[in-house]
Amino acid sequence: MSQPYNRIYNFSAGPCTLPVEVLEEAKEDLLNYKGTGMSVMEMSHRSKAYEGIIATAEADLRTLLSVPDNYKVLFLQGGASQQFATIPMSFLPQGKTADYVITGAWGKKALESANIYGKANVVFDAKADNYNNVPDLGSLSYTPGAAYVHFTTNETIQGVQFKSDPSLNSTVVCDMSSDILSRPVDVSKYALIYAGAQKNMGPAGATVVIIRDDLLATGPDGLPPVFDYKVQVENGSMFNTPPCWSIYMCGLVYKYLLRNGGLEGARKRNEEKANVLYNAIDNSHGFFKGHAKGDCRSTMNVTFTLPDEELTKTFIKETEAAGLDGLKGHRSVGGCRASIYNAFPLEGAEALASAMQEFAAKHGKALV
Ligand code: PMP
């Protein structure tokens, strides 16, 4: 079945597919936003209209995630990568240690920045297993008095995901870039959550930071203001020009999610899509092999390999020709990666599952 506007099934890991109805709304607003006579891209961030856009986006994000009142919400620039640096710059003082849980490539990148600013201790690293699993966070040995514990809920490249919120008596800092808003989360289990917009929330540009007041208060004085969370909070994310368009689009996505059953609705849809693909892997009699171990298989990034490099290339070429785009896996895992974030349609997952079944049958490993 063809998609509206002849769109293809876009399995990109991010930036990625956005809800069609959100794109239509943006199109509607593009030349003249609600009678202002200009687009959101052309509007001063200090204007009344824009103040309304950012305030509504924050309010809707708070509703979606049930963010408690003792947390601040920021929309910043710099991507999640800037947060890798800003977090240790702000909360890893000399003489303290921060614990890092490494379940894939992005956790490793966060660690690299922490090592520049202070002492980081790796409490778990799944490198020996090529990052195909996640630990039970409650069973790790943490540094007594650690400044914070950092982990990544969903490792986008490896496709491994923590399935529940941690219950730790420590300051938990979490990179939720690739699964925020894909399921309900208990924000009170975290001291700081950060996430780039470009997977589940909107186009690249904005980075959401949700920070608990007591952690915020411990930030040092004297940081360059653009990196100072307190300054950003005092200025309502507008110490400098915010990523206006990306925030506006996030706002439309939040409304779309609220209209469609909130995060519980998103969770159901995401699990259904992921099951279609994991079933295709599991029913292929070993032709396709899932990278992640069963209990931590990501509902966002489904990673799998084929029997050899030649078949992988052919599969990617053939699926691409059939309108299933962006399936090439990251070189560290090999094979394929199907990213199926919130806005990715179930029909696309079903189309890929059919293509997998046909391909496995054709190449001599018939399915039962
Ligand atoms: N963390 C995770 C889990 C990611 O998937 C990504 C980007 N794919 C990043 C961090 C880095 O994000 P950015 O490019 O916005 O800095």
For residue 171, the SS3 value is: coil
Ligand 1 pocket test, candidate residues 77, 87, 153, 178, most atoms within 8 A of CB: 178
Q: Report which protein residue has its CA nearest ligand 1's atom 15.
A: 79
d(CA 88, CA 111): 9
Q: Is the CB of 113 under 6 A from ligand 1?
A: no
> Encoding tokens for residue 184?
């309900």
Q: Is the CB of 39 under 6 A from ligand 1?
A: no
Rg (CA), the chain: 21
Cross-strand bridge partners of residue 106? none
CA terminus-to-terminus distance, the chain: 26
Q: How far is the CA of 16 from the centre of ligand 1 (A)?
A: 13
**HSE-CB for 307 with a 13 A CA cutoff:** 11
Q: Is the CB of 79 under 6 A from ligand 1?
A: yes
DSSP per-residue letters across 23-39: HHHHHHHSSSGGGSSS-
In this prediction, residue 2 carries a pLDDT of 77
Instruction: Please report the beta strands in the chain, taking only residues with DSSP state E, as ranges in sequence order.
Output: 9-10, 71-76, 97-102, 119-125, 149-152, 154-155, 160-161, 172-175, 192-196, 207-212, 289-290, 301-305, 324-325, 336-339
d(CA 293, CA 104): 13
For residue 159, the SS3 value is: coil
d(CA 47, CA 30): 17
**Omega before 15 cis (within 30°)?**
yes
Q: Is the CB of 80 under 6 A from ligand 1?
A: yes
Domain spans, the chain: 23-259, 262-367
Q: How far is it between the farthest Cα atoms of the chain?
A: 66
Q: How far is the CA of 177 from the centre of ligand 1 (A)?
A: 6
DSSP 8-state code for residue 329: P
d(CA 186, CA 165): 7
**Atom of ligand 1 at shortest distance to CA of 81?**
16
- What is the tens place of the pLDDT at every residue in 105-159? 999 999 999 999 999 999 999 999 999 999 999 999 999 999 999 999 999 999 9
In this prediction, residue 366 carries a pLDDT of 45
DSSP 8-state code for residue 138: G
What backbone phi and psi angles, to 5 degrees, belong to 9? -85, 115
What backbone phi and psi angles, to 5 degrees, belong to 186? -90, 95
**CA 228 distance to own-chain centroid:** 23
Q: Report which protein residue has its CA nearest ligand 1's atom 9.
A: 80
Residue type, 40: V
Q: Is the CB of 205 under 6 A from ligand 1?
A: no
Low-confidence ranges of the chain (pLDDT < 50): 366-368
Q: How far is the CA of 196 from the centre of ligand 1 (A)?
A: 6
Return the C-alpha torsion angle 135, 197, 212, 53, nearest 10.
Answer: -160
In this prediction, residue 364 carries a pLDDT of 65
Q: Is the CB of 179 under 6 A from ligand 1?
A: no
Instruction: Please report the beta strands in 83-156, taking only residues with DSSP state E, as ranges in sequence order.
Output: 97-102, 119-125, 149-152, 154-155
CATH topology for the 23-259 domain: Aspartate Aminotransferase; domain 2 (3.40.640)
d(CA 152, CA 150): 7
Q: Is the CB of 156 under 6 A from ligand 1?
A: yes
Just list the catalytic residues: 106, 175, 199
Q: Are 266 and 125 in contact (CB under 8 A)?
A: no
Q: How far is the CA of 208 from the centre of ligand 1 (A)?
A: 12
Q: How far is the CA of 81 from the centre of ligand 1 (A)?
A: 6
Q: Return the CATH number of 262-367, one of 3.40.50.1010, 3.50.30.60, 3.10.129.10, 3.90.1150.10.
A: 3.90.1150.10
